[in-house]
Amino acid sequence: MRINSKKLIVMGALCSAFLTSAANAQLNVFACEPEYAALAQEIAPEAKIYSATSAMQDPHLVQARPSLIAKMRQADLVVCAGADLEIGWLPMLQMKASNNKVRSTDNGLFYAAEHIDTLDKLEHVDRSMGDVHAKGNPHLHFDPRRMLQVANALSEKMAALDPEGAAGYQAKLTDFTDRWQQAIPKWEEQAAGLKGKKVIAYHSSFRYLFNWLGIEQVADLEPKPGIPPSSSHLAKLVNRSQEGDVMAILVTSYQDERGANWLGERTDLPVLILPMSVGGNSDSTDLFSLYDSVITMLTEVQ
């Protein structure tokens, strides 16, 4: 596959050059999740960007529905988390959309996870372990430094697909990088008090956030990844919660909060519904405000 990449990039360049004259240099971007729509927006504000899912939708379980096929059919670039997060629907969309521009990562397909080192890669995966990913945890957008690596790679990808816009993407990337690098120490300072805190959370959705801020997830509301909280499992968590060292119970915008609320009521622990992505609450309108919102909510618990 890699051998052909140069050829394909040239071909892609030719194609987009051809389209450019016809369609005004506007990249059509299909993002699998809203965080990547937001990132694409930072680098290519002129692009036509569509997000296949919202922060209210579990990206593991998306229907390969007609509207998504229609959007992918028109896309020049498909941006997804990767690491098999979208394996239950993306291959079906690709087959149904018949769009050869977004078939392969050699041309208009981009997986964020391929450009960073994912956490929790597994040597061996078995279905009895639940819905786990051998390629590591795909919910990587809450690690600011990894996101910067992804932004760099995405900008390169956009430049390869649309050489005429390359200077523009580079300028926007530089602008984004500056603002992002200024924000990181501010977030870290704000979250300093969270270091070493213990939480109970739902799934490994915030694995990268906890890794970054030094928060420890001591228990999972899910008995196994992808398996919703059962009453017997929740009952076990009551004991753990009452040891006195747990700060809060965390769920995300697309997860059912009933299990968390049940546990919260029994243990007097606060339950937080954190936005999983841009649009997950009213404060989260872009990547910056998403990080702001999540860190503010966490620090306000204390």
Partner 1 sequence: MSYLNKRLSLVAVACAFASTHAFAEDSSLTNPNISAVLDGFYQTGDRGLGGREEGFGLGETELAISANIDDMFYGKVTAILESHDGETEIELEEAFIQTMGLPAGLGIRAGRFLSDVGYLNNQHLHTDSFVDRPGAYRAFMGNHYFDDGVRLTYVAPTDLYWTMGVEVFKGDKMRAADMYEEHEEEGHDEEEHEEHGPREYDTVGVYSAFTKFGGDIGNSSSWQVGLSYLYNANGKVMVVEGEEEEGHADEEHDHEGHTHSASYTGENTYIADFVYKWAPNGNYKYQHLTVSGEYFRVTDTFSFEEGDHGHEEEDHDHEESHGDDYFEGWYLSGVYQFSPHWSAGVRYGEVDTYELHGDHLDPQKLKETELSLAWHHSHFSTVRLQYTNQKGTNFDGFEDDNIVSLQYVMTLGAHGAHQF
Applying CB under 8 A, the residues found at the interface with partner 1 are 1, 4, 53-54, 56-58, 60-67, 69-71, 73-74, 84, 87-92, 94-100, 103-104, 106, 122, 124-127, 130-131, 133-135, 226-228, 254-256
With contact defined as beta carbons under 8 Å apart, do 102 and 80 qualify? no
Q: Cα(49)–Cα(18) distance, rounded to whole angstroms?
A: 20
Least Å from the CB of residue 124 to partner 1: 6
Least Å from the CB of residue 262 to partner 1: 14
Closest to partner 1 by CB, 134 or 192: 134
What count of Cα atoms within 13 Å lies in the side-chain half-sphere of residue 52?
31
Closest to partner 1 by CB, 97 or 294: 97
Closest to partner 1 by CB, 229 or 264: 229
Q: What angle do CA 58, 62, 64 make, to 5 degrees?
A: 170
Report long-range pairs for 51-55 (Cβ below 8 Å, ≥24 apart).
54/277, 54/279, 55/253, 55/254, 55/275, 55/276, 55/277, 55/278, 55/279, 55/280, 55/284
**Closest C-alpha among 88, 92, 93, 94 to residue 107:** 94
Least Å from the CB of residue 100 to partner 1: 4
Least Å from the CB of residue 92 to partner 1: 4
Closest to partner 1 by CB, 70 or 167: 70
CB environment 119-152: b (16+ within 10 A), e (fewer): beeeeeeeeeeebbbebbbbbbbbbbebbbebbe
Least Å from the CB of residue 96 to partner 1: 7
Closest to partner 1 by CB, 127 or 282: 127
| Token code pair at residue 50 | 């569509």
Closest to partner 1 by CB, 17 or 134: 134
Least Å from the CB of residue 273 to partner 1: 13
